[in-house]
Structure 1
Amino acid sequence: MTFRLRAVRGLVLLAGFYLMGVVLLSAMAALDWLLVTPLFTARAAWFEGMVLTVTVLLAAAILRGMFAFLRAGRLGPMPHAVAVTPQDQPELWEQVRAAAEVTGERLPDELYLIAEVNAGVAEQNRLLGLLPGRRRMLLGLPLLAGLTVPQLRAVLAHEFGHYGNLDTRLGGVTMRGRKAVLHTVEVFHEGSTRLHYAFGTLYVSYARMFLRTSQSVARHQELAADQMAARHAGRDATAAALRILPVLAAAHTHYLETYAAMGRPLGVLPPPGEVHGGFQRLLAARTGKRLAALSVGQRPPRPHQYDSHPPTAERIALIEKLPADDRADGSADEPAALTLLHDPDRVFAALEARTLPQEAARLQRMSWDDLVMARAVADAEVWSRPLRVAVARALRSSAQGADGTVTLRRDATAEGVANDQLPGLEEILDAFDRGLLWMAVVDCMPKPHQAARLIGPAARNFIRPKVFDGLAGMVHLRLAEAGYAKPDIAWSGQPGLVLPEAWEKDMDDAIDAAVADTPDTAPLRALLVGLHRASA
C-alpha cells in the first residue's frame, strides 16, 4: 500500500473516531432528554441525577478529545524557549536558509532554541492541512553543542524533509489525529466511574486500530526525511548525526543529574548561564569513546508500542545502503555547530532564564569549585551521621567495669541529638577499640525491614559498607576543615574532592582495617597524626 493510500486510510479511521464520538454524544443527549420529559414518571430523583451527572462527565471527556484535534494544529506560545531572529544569529539562520534552498522549501517563520537534545518542526496548517500556514522550527541548544556544522546541516535537511513531501500535508492531519486519539484515551483512563472504564475500553480498541495504521504513515515520513537529508547533506554526515544523537542524549542526562542538579539539595545554583552552558564543558572534556562510555550499561528507553520513529539502527542501515558520495561525515576537524552562535554564553543565560522556575531567581549562585566543595561537605555529613548516631547510642547504652568488661543497657538512646553532641572521629575509633563496633554499633545502625533480623557474620557484612561510608565521610569532613581537600569539577570524570597523596593512597586500606571483624584503628590513626603534624 502506498503512503498516500495509508494516509487516506488513517484519515478515514480518524473520521470514524469522530463519528463514534458524535453517535455517543447523540445517544447520551437522547437519554438525558427522556429523563427530563414527563414520559417516564416512575423514576427516583436520585437516579435521574446520577444518570445526568455521568452522561455530562462522559460527554465532557469525548468533547475534550475531539477538540484536542483542533488544538494539536495550533502554534502556541513557547515560554521555555528562546526566539532567534536572523538579526540575532545570522550565521545560524544562514544554515537554515541554505537547507531550505537545497530542499526547495520556504523558511520557517519562527526559530526557537530549546533545552533538549532534539530538533523539530511544526506548521499551523489550514483547512485540515490543505493550505500551508505559519512554520516553526525548534533546535536544541545541547544539540548544537554536540553536533558539528556538517551534522547540523543533515539535521536541518531532515527537518525540512518533513515539509518537503507533499504527501505530508495529509500525513500531518493523521499525526494530529494521533494526538487527539491518545488524549481522548488518557481522559477516559483518568475517569473514576465504571461507565468511564466501559467507554474507555471502546475508545482504546478503536484507538489501537487507528494508531497501528497511522504509525506506518509516521515512520514513512521519518524515513523519507532521512533520505532527503542524505541527498542534500551527505550520506555519511546524516548517518553520523543519527549515531551521535543517542550518545548526546545520554551525556545530557548525565550532565543534568550530576552537574546541573548538584546544588539542588543545598538550594543553590551553578554560575549564571551554566545550568545549561556547563554541558559544552563536559563535551569538550569527553570526546570519542569517553563520551560514548556515558551510555554504556544504560538501558535504552523502551520504545513506545506506537512510536512514530523507526529504530535508529534501522534508519542508519537504510542510509548506509545509499551510494557513497564525496562528502565526509563531518565528525573530524569540523567546528561545532555551537560556533555558529554569536555570544553563546549570553544565549545559554537567556535559555536558563526561560527554563528555570521563578523562585530560582532567589537562589544563591556558586562557582563550580565552591559548589563541588559545598556538595561534598553536605554529602559527607549525610554519610557520617548514621554512624555517629549509632555510636552515640552504643556509648550511652554501655558501661565499662573496673575489669574492663563492657555491659550494655538497652534503655538509653541518642535519637534527636544535635550534631555538636555526636561523637567525633577519634571518639568513634575509641569505641571501635573497646569492641563496641560489632557488639553494639551494628545493632544501632539503621537497617531496612528485610535486614532487621540479620545476626552474626550476615549482619556484619551487611552493615560494614555503611560503616565504611560513615568513616570515609568523617575523614572527608576533617580534610575539608583542615584545608587539605580540594574541589575538582572533573568534567571528564566524577566531581568530588581531591585528597592529599597519602590519603588517596592509603585511606581505603586504613578504613578497611578499622571495620574488619577484629577492628584495627592504628593505620587510620597514623594518617590522622600525619595530618595534625602537617597542620602544625
Structure 2
Amino acid sequence: MRIGVVKVVFLVVGFYALDTLIFLLLAFGGGFLLAGIDNVPLFILAALGLGLLFGAGVVALLPMRPVPFVPKGVPLYRDDAPELWATLTELAETIGTRPPDQVWLTAGPGASVVEEARLFGLKPGRRFLSIGLPTLQAFTRAQASAVLAHEFAHYAQLDGRTSVTGYRSHVAVARMLDRFPRSTINPLAWLFRGYARLFVLTQRVASRRREYGADQVMGRIAGRAAAHSALRLHARLGEEWTRYLSVHVGPGADVGMAPDDLYGGFAGMLEARRERLATMDEPIRPPSRWDTHPPTAERLWALDTAPDKSDVDERPALGLLADPVRSAARLEEASFDFGECRRLPWDTYPREVALARLKVDAEAAYRAIARASGQPGGSLEALLTLPGADVPEDGLTAAIVLAALDAGTMRFVHRWDDEPDFVLADGSFLDFDLVEDLLIGEPEHAARARAALARLGIDPAAANGGTERLSPGEAPVIGGLASVKFDDRPGHLVITERGLIFSPGPEAEADSGKDALLALMAQAPFAVAARAGAVWLPYEEFSHVEKQRDIPLKATVTLYNGVEHRIHAVYTGYVHEKSHETILRVLR
C-alpha cells in the first residue's frame, strides 16, 4: 500500500512542480519583457499583470501549510465508552495497526478516520476516529464491528495519512483554478485544468480501489452476513437521518417548537422502519469515473467471497457506550441550537407542531377571504358567496381541517413509518374536491361544498379568523438594501420570507449604509418592524407591483386596501450579497 502513498505524493509534487516551472518561466520571460519596455504606463501595466500571476501561485501554495484537524461532536473517553474502546483495541491488534488516539461521537450517521500525518503522509501522526450516534442506534454490535473494521483497514493502508495531503492538494488546485475561470481563453487555464482533471481522476480510481480493499478486510473480520447487512444499512442511513430531520423535527422550527429528545425520536423511527430498511432493494446505478466509492451493489457482490461467522453479536451497538442517554444529551447540546424554541416530549410534539402550522396557514386563508369580501375578518361562509376568490389552497385546506378537528370528525395521527397527517374518523383522508369547490365558488360548486362541510360537522359561519394582520415574527431574513428612498423617506429595506420592512435612517452615510443595514438584519424581524417610523409590508397584501426600473430598483407597490408605497434604491447604496436578485424575485 506504500505505492498509493507514493502516487499521491507524486501527483501533488507534480502539480507544484508544474506551478513552479510556469512561474519561473513567467519570471524570466517577464523580466526580459519588462527590460525592453521604455513606455512607463505600459511598464506599470505589465508589472501589475505579472504580479497578479505570482500572487495566484502563492495563494495556491498556502493550503499545504499544516492545519490542525478539528473534530466535530463530543469526545468519547475510555470511561464514556469502555466497551467501544475495547472493541477498537481488539480490531487494531487483529488487523495489525495501532488504535486511534481520540474517538469522537458525531451528530449525523457515518464513520471515518483521519490521521494528522506530516511529510506528505509519510510520517505518522495522531489518529482520530469519528462515529455517528445514529449509526450506533441503527447497528448491532456485529454490524458496528464490521464498519469499524472497514475504517481500521484504511488505517492499515495508510489512507488516513494520505487523505490529509489529498484534501490540501484539492484545495490548492481549486484555489488555482479560481484564478482561471472555465470560460477564459487562456493557455494557462487549459494547462492547469487538464492537470487538475488528471489529478482528480487518479485519486478517484485509487479511492475506489481502497474501498474494495477495506471491504475485504471488513468481510474477513466480521463475516459475510454482518458485512453485508452493515453495508446495506449504512448506505441508507444518511437518507433516513435526513428524512427524520425534515419530516419529524424540522417543521417545529417555523412555529418555535422543538422535541426534547432528538435522538430518542430517531430511535423510534428506526424501530418502526427497521423491517422496511432490511428488505429494500439496492438501487442500481451506472458507476461513474468521478465516484469516490464503488456502487453499493458492486461492493455487496465483492463481499460474497467473505467467510461465514457463527458467533454474530446481535446486541444493540448503542450498548458500547457506558451511558447512551447522557452521551446523546451531550451530543445534542453540542451539535444543535434550538434557541428559544419550546421543548416538548414526543407524545405531544408532533400534534402541537401540526396544529400550530395549521393555524398559521388557516389565518392566511381567512385574511385573503377578508380582503376579497371587504370585511374585517374572513369565514368559510363568506367564501361560499365569493366565486373565484384568490385564496391560498394550502391555507383553505388548513382552515377546513381545523374546523373538522373542532367538530370531532378528524384526528391527528403520528406515524414513524410515514408522514404525520390528519385523517377522518374512519382513517381516510380529506376529499380535496371540497377545497376545489370552495375555490371555484359558483352556485353548483358552493352547494356541493356546503353539503360536504355539513357531513364534516362544520358550520361555515363559525369557521372564521383573519382579524389580525400577519406579523413578521421571526421570519428568516433573506436580504437587504441600504440607503433606499421609501415614500421619499431615506432608510434601509430588510427583505424577509414574509414581507419587506422599511426602517428609517439618515440620508447619507460614509459606508453607503452597510453597517446600519447589517445591524438591522442581525435583529429579529419583529423587533425591526417595531422601531419608530418602521413600515411592515407583508407580501400577501400586495395587490399590484409596477416596476419603473430594475437597476437601481424603482417600483411602486399597491396594497389591497389601495395604499401605494414607492421604493427607490440608489446606485451608491449597499446591496447585501444577492439581494438585488432577491428583491426582484419577491416583487414578481
**TM-score of the two chains, using structure 1 as the length reference:** 0.74
Residue type matched to 1:424 in 2? S
Structure-1 residue corresponding to 2:216: 227
Deviations 1:61-94, CA, capped at 9 Å, x for gaps: 43343332444xx54222x311101112112212
Secondary structure at the counterpart of residue 9 of structure 2: helix
Corresponding residue for residue 353 of structure 2: 375
CA positional deviation for 1:512: 6.4
Pick the aligned partner of 2:170 from 182, 195, 204. 182
Cα gap change, 1:184 to 1:305, in 2 (>3 Å): farther
Task: For residue 136 of structure 1, report the CA deviation from its aligned partner.
Answer: 0.9
Contact in 1 for aligned 2:95/2:156 (Cα 8 Å): yes
Note the alpha carbon deviations across 1:465-516, whole angstroms, 9 max, x for none. Answer: x3xx4443112223455788665442232224465x26x5584278268458
Match of residue 495 from structure 1: 420
How far apart in 2 are the matches of 1:58 and 1:305? 32
Structure 1 equivalent of residue 21 of structure 2: 23
Mean Cα deviation higher: 85-94 or 143-152: 85-94
Partner of 1:68: 63
The CA deviation at 1:254 is 0.4
User: Aligned match of 1:282 in 269, 273, 292?
Assistant: 269
Which of 1 and 2 has higher RCO (CA within 8 Å, sep 6+)?
Answer: 1
> Aligned partners of 2:230, 2:292: CA distance in 1, in Å?
19
1:14 paired to 2:12? yes
Provide structure 2 residue ranges, at least 5 long, that are not aligned to the other structure: 463-588
Instruction: Call closer, same or farther: CA 1:178–1:133 in 2, change over 3 Å.
Output: closer
Q: Which residue of 1 aligns with 2:304?
A: 320
CA distance in structure 1 between the partners assigned to 2:406 and 2:180 by the alignment? 57
Q: Within 5 A, what are the aligned runs for 1:144-155?
A: 144-155=136-147
Q: CA deviation at 1:157?
A: 1.0
Give the aligned residue type for 1:340.
Answer: L
**8 Å contact 1:372–1:488 — kept in the other structure?**
no
Once residues 44 and 328 of structure 2 are traced to their aligned partners in structure 1, the CA distance between those partners, rounded to angstroms, is 56
Identity, in percent, stands at 30
**8 Å contact 1:117–1:140 — kept in the other structure?**
yes
SS across alignment from 2:127: strand
Q: Kindly indicate whether the alpha-carbon contact (under 8 Å) linking 2:103 and 2:129 is maintained by their aligned counterparts in 1.
A: yes
**What amino acid sits opposite 2:274 in the alignment?**
T
Counterpart of 2:321 in structure 1 is 341
Deviation digits for residues 177-214 of structure 1 (CA, Å, limit 9, x no counterpart): 54344323432454487879754432220021122223
Tell whether the 8 Å contact from 1:81 to 1:355 is kept in structure 2 after alignment.
yes
- 1:333-378: per-residue Cα shift (whole Å, max 9, x none)? x222112222222212211222235xx4443323335432343234
Is 1:213 aligned to residue 202 of structure 2? Answer: yes
Instruction: Indicate the residue corresponding to 2:343 in structure 1.
Output: 365
**Inter-partner Cα distance in structure 1 for 2:406 and 2:48:** 66
Alignment CA distance shift 1:314-1:145 (3 Å): same
Structure 2 distance, partners of 1:306, 1:185, is 16
Pick closer, same or farther for the CA change 1:505–1:16 going to 2, 3 Å: closer
C-alpha contact 2:120 2:165 (8 A) present in aligned 1: no
Q: Following TM superposition, by how much is the alpha carbon of 1:255 offset from its aligned partner in structure 2, in angstroms?
A: 0.5
Partner secondary structure for residue 10 of structure 2: helix
Q: How many residues align?
A: 455
Q: Which residue does the alignment assign to 2:295?
A: 311
Distance 1:58 1:196 in 2: 16
Equivalent residues in 2 for 1:98-177 (5 A)?
98-165=90-157, 168=158, 172-173=161-162, 175-177=163-165
Partner of 1:427: 382
Q: Does the alignment pair 1:508 with 2:434?
A: no
Q: Where is the strand percentage greater, Structure 1 or Structure 2?
A: 2
8 Å Cα contact 1:185/1:200 also seen in 2? no
Inter-CA distance 28–361: structure 2 relative to 1 (3 Å threshold): farther
CA contact 2:373–2:382 (8 Å) conserved in 1:
no
1:352 corresponds to: 332
Output the amino acid matched with 2:310: R
CA contact (8 A) 1:111 1:138 kept: yes
Matching residue's letter, 2:175: V
Q: Distance in 2 between matches of 1:146 and 1:486?
A: 31
Deviation at 1:237, TM superposition (A): 1.0
Shift in alpha-carbon separation, 1:506–1:199, aligned structure 2, 3 A:
closer
- Distance in 1 (CA, whole Å) between partners of 2:174 and 2:286 is 20
**Contact 1:154/1:233 (<8 A) preserved:** yes
> Which residue in the other structure is 1:528 paired with?
457
Whole-Å Cα distance in 1 between the matches of residues 252 and 325 of structure 2? 21
Instruction: Write the letter of the residue equivalent to 2:54.
Output: A
8 A contact 1:149–1:336 mirrored in 2: yes
**Structure holding more helix per residue:** 1
Deviations 1:289-331 (A, max 9, x none): 26766x99xx899977433222221111111133x4233666x
Is contact 1:113-1:141 (8 Å) kept? Answer: yes
Unaligned runs of 5+ in 1: 397-413, 415-420, 447-465
Does structure 2 conserve the Cα–Cα contact (< 8 Å) formed by 1:121 and 1:136?
yes
* Alignment TM-score, normalising by the size of structure 2: 0.68
* Aligned counterpart for 1:59 among listed residues 51, 54, 62: 54
Task: Give the C-alpha shift of residue 530 in structure 1.
Answer: 8.9
Q: 1:146 to 1:61 in 2, by over 3 A?
A: farther
Deviations 1:231-251 (A, max 9, x none): 111122112111111222221
In 2 relative to 1, CA 182–395 (structure 1 residues): closer, same or farther, beyond 3 Å?
same
Q: Per-residue displacement from partner, 1:78-132 (whole Å, max 9, x unpaired)? A: 2x31110111211221221221122122111000011222111111223333332
Amino acid at match of 2:207: A
